[in-house]
A and B are shown apart, each in its own frame.
Chain A
Amino acid sequence: DQQVKQNSPSLSVQEGRISILNCDYTNSMFDYFLWYKKYPAEGPTFLISISSIKDKNEDGRFTVFLNKSAKHLSLHIVPSQPGDSAVYFCAAMWAAGNKLTFGGGTRVLVKP
C-alpha cells in the first residue's frame, strides 16, 4: 500500500525553464510534507517543507504547493539549473509521529 506516490518517474527540462514535480498521498493523517533531493550514492538533502495549515511555502528557487482537498502537493523549481539534476523524493509524516513515508522518487534531468 503506497501511501505516498510520485507518478512521474522522470522529468526532462531545459535549463532556465520551470520544473514541476508532483506527489499524491492517501493518508489523511499526514500533516507535514517534505521534499528531498538525492544524488547517486549520497544521502537525501532536505530542500523544503510545508505544514498542512499552509498551502504554499517558498524558499529561493523552490516553491511547494499543497492542496489538502486533493491530497496533492507539487514542487516548482524556477529557474531550473543543470545542478538540479538529481532524484527528488516527496515525503510525508504526521506531526505527532516521527515516521517519514517516502514516494518513489522522480529523476530530474536539466539540459543545458
Chain B
Amino acid sequence: DTEVTQTPKHLVMGMTNKKSLKCEQHMGHRAMYWYKQKAKKPPELMFVYSYEKLSINESVPSRFSPECPNSSLLNLHLHALQPEDSALYLCASSQDGGGQGADTQYFGPGTRLTVL
C-alpha cells in the first residue's frame, strides 16, 4: 500500500481566512513533504519533516505554517494568503527522508486551492 491521503480535495478561501490542509499516511514513513504546483510547472518543494522535525524550509512565506503532530499526519496552516498562492498543494511521504539511502517519495492526490 503506497497511499497518501489529502483533505480537502478542493478549497476556496478569501485573503483574510484561516484554513488548514491535511495529509495522512499509514505506511510507517518517517519523512513527509509539502509541495506546491502551479499550472504547467513541476512541483516545487516547500517543507520537509523528518522524524517529526522540520528539516527543510525552502524560504516559504510565513503565511504558510506546517505542523507535524505525529509521524502519520502533516498539516499546512494557511493564513492571509494572496491570490498568487492559488495552486495544487501536494503532500508526499518517504521511508526516512534519505538518511538510510535513496528514498522514493509517494504523493497524495493534492488539494486544489483557490484564493479569492
Contact = CB atoms under 8 A, between A and B. Distances in A.
B47 to A, nearest CB: 11
B104 A102 contact: no
Interface residues of B, number: 33
B101 A49 contact: no
Nearest to A51: B102
A94 B104 CA distance: 11
B110 interface: yes
Which of A43, A46, A89, A97 has its CB near the most chain B CB atoms (within 10 A)?
A43
Given A99-B56, A105-B42, A43 B104 contact: no
A46 B88 contact: no
A31 B102 contact: yes
Nearest to B40: A105
Chain A interface size range: 20 to 34
Contact of A99 (B45, B108, B112): B45
A8 to B, nearest CB: 14
A18 interface: no
Given A95-B98, A95-B102, A43 B108 contact: yes
A109 interface: no
B4 interface: yes
B31 interface: yes
Contacts of A102: 42-44
Given A96-B98, A102-B43, A41 B110 contact: yes
Contacts of A36: 107
Given A98-B55, A99-B56, A45 B102 contact: no
Interface of B: 2, 4, 6, 31, 33, 40-45, 48, 50, 55-56, 88, 90, 92, 94, 97-99, 101-110, 112
Given A46-B104, A100-B43, A102-B44, 14 more contacts: A34-B104, A43-B109, A43-B110, A46-B105, A93-B98, A93-B103, A94-B98, A95-B101, A98-B50, A98-B55, A98-B56, A98-B94, A98-B98, A102-B42
